[in-house]
Structure 1
Amino acid sequence: MFLDVSQLGVHYAGQPHPAVEGVSFSLQAGEIGVFIGPSGCGKTTLLRAVAGLERAQAGTIRLAQEVVSSPAVHMPAELRRIGMVFQDYALFPHLNVANNVAFGLTHLATAARAQRVSEVLDLVGLGNAHKRFPHELSGGQQQRVALARALAPAPRLLLLDEPFSNLDVDLRERLAHEVRGILKAAGATALFVTHDQLEAFAIGDRIGVMHEGHLHQWEDAYALYHRPATRFVANFIGHGVFTQARIEQRASEVVVHTALGDLTNMQECPLPDAYPGGLCDVLLRADDIVHDDHSPVRAQILRKAFRGSDFLYTLRLPSGETVVALVPSHHDHALGEWIGIRAEVDHVVTFAREATASSATDTDALI
């Protein structure tokens, strides 16, 4: 592995709990990793520890098989050959684009420096912007200049700390796709921090979900969405709710009883003995719930959010439980209206039963 972090711990003096605790993950050369999580979860501290800006009180960080951080070793940040892109771009306003990009290339001869500047500006799509100044560029263009400057010295690892947070929402996802293409074209290994799921999905090969200093899961976007390892990941990623259920072995098949009816013919499902009495909570994503006027299961529309091609409906079942559903936007139903729905899943994600204030009825009464 090119970057290997093992059981990393970072603890700030005077704080009761570690900012980062027991974090382990790895990146292969050329991969892009993304850390996502709520404010204060430790993702920026983790990035700073990799950069060498924070000391490790526990665990190790290896870069190209060399230990750069441990309780006994701390390689200074300037020796790690790591590039950084910040959310405020940190461009020099008095320097034009070419000179901004050339800032870290003073070790090169004049001709080689100019050639490298042209190479990275072409790479980020700003090949004609050499003489322009930062104030003459859009936010997205400034971010590209910052990326070009970070790539120019050919760092071993590139770190990006919420680089799109100052940009318009509509621009973020598009720029994330473009930056991914730039990093892949450059063959760069990168670690990226964001709080925006769409950015994370657009740019990351591997995505880590953090909460309260702990890394809950480190996988690709598909696995995070469809096979979350913890309840926190299931709640944090995408739209979905937990509904109470009971798993039963019936002849040769496993049946999951829910307030939406029985779920059967699933490719993946735990056996009943995985939980006491087979009682568990099942995660139902918005795309697991299908609008069906002919379904015997009815639900009342509590909230609706128009998203262009579809509505995100929040629905209340007769049991009092709520589910969410993505429904094509030509099905424009009124608040309070009852519509038919059914669950359509090929695998279930289950967790141990957790009592909630919103649970209106005991599961045995529902099923």
Structure 2
Amino acid sequence: MKNVALIHEWLTTYAGSERVVEQMLLQYPESDLYAVANILSDKDREFLRGKEPTTSFIQKLPFLKKFLRHYLPLMPMAVEQWDLSAYDVILSSNHAVAKGVICGPDQLHVSYVHTPIRYAWEFQAQYLRESKLTWGVRSVVTRMILHYMRMWDNVSSTRVDAFVANSQFIANRIQKCYGRTAEVIYPPVDVDAFAPNYNKEDYYIAASRLVPYKRVDLIVEAFRLMPDRKLLVVGDGPMFKTLKANCPDNVELLGYLPHEKMLRLMQGAKAFVFAAEEDFGITSVEAQACATPVIAYGRGGSLETVVEGVTGCFFEEQVPESVAAAVDAFEQQQSQFDLQATRKHAEGFRPERFRAELAEFIDSEWRKFVQHRRRRPKRSITSSVPDPLNCPVVKSPDLVNFAGVSSK
């Protein structure tokens, strides 16, 4: 395996998928990085370690920081314009369009999928509802765009030689959307940045971007039903003002906090409460690294990151009453949770494990790819094709037309 091109959607912040890219760059330091657009701040771009990504024409479009997501319909065409012919291996980090790059038959394309485009597939109805696009002209236009994105997303999946999913939950979605199997390699979690603390205080914590699908509002409403229990909410986002305006006395919204302050709160919490149906859920693993058990919605990636009865417990419905019942059950069984086992479980998601598993998978796929490429196709000559040099001459007394009548 020689040259590697690393493709990522867009570079706007240092979050979950960017942490995956960071580890990919560490594993393949000589690779070249491509992204549709790059608007990272100087602080956030440190994980690139001086590598300057190649961008697309979208980088030059007006008001990029404000309207980047609005340029989504142009992104399939944007990723198809890169000339990647100089690379042996294409490694795409995909949650929208990165896997759609065009490769040749002598290039191996491995795509690490964080998720198929969630708002174009089964979350379309939720996306339209939360964006207030359920009716009207804008709704029709948006539905047409999402229809086009679904078709392109499915077609572009055929350009990938091997899929890797960040959880079995996402592997199942890949099978459903693309009809393809995927290897599961869990994403890296910097557990060393979340030291354990086995002395817990009397409060619960939720930490997340305050956007609708994270369902922090659900957690707040659950604690409204439990006025004797305290909840701290760390995070900022478009829902902050709405939640702040109707926040019960036992819930405190702290907004964005630096890592050090958030870490201390995570370490001291009795449990971390998580209500979203996540693809994987890095924050819940970070909580477990702090030796903090997790109370999570029993769907999605949480089922793969939380060990029920050991490192946390689940609730079955996304309603306040179900969350409150899970907190009550946790209170009654709190002594049964093994905090040291919780920390040890989180250590299984270390970045070193991710890099080793990814490199092993790509090396294996490359060996199979090269072996298949070197096979020479067997040519066969069938007896039904005559040799014109040895074809016998057949003499006929007369010529007959198709009606059987002599031409004489």
Structure label with greater radius of gyration: 2
Q: Identify the TM-score tier after normalising by the shorter chain.
A: under 0.3
Q: TM-score, normalised by structure 2?
A: 0.23
Q: TM-score, normalised by structure 1?
A: 0.25
Q: Which has the higher strand share?
A: 1
| Higher relative helix content | 2
More contact order relative to length (CA 8 Å, sep ≥ 6):
1
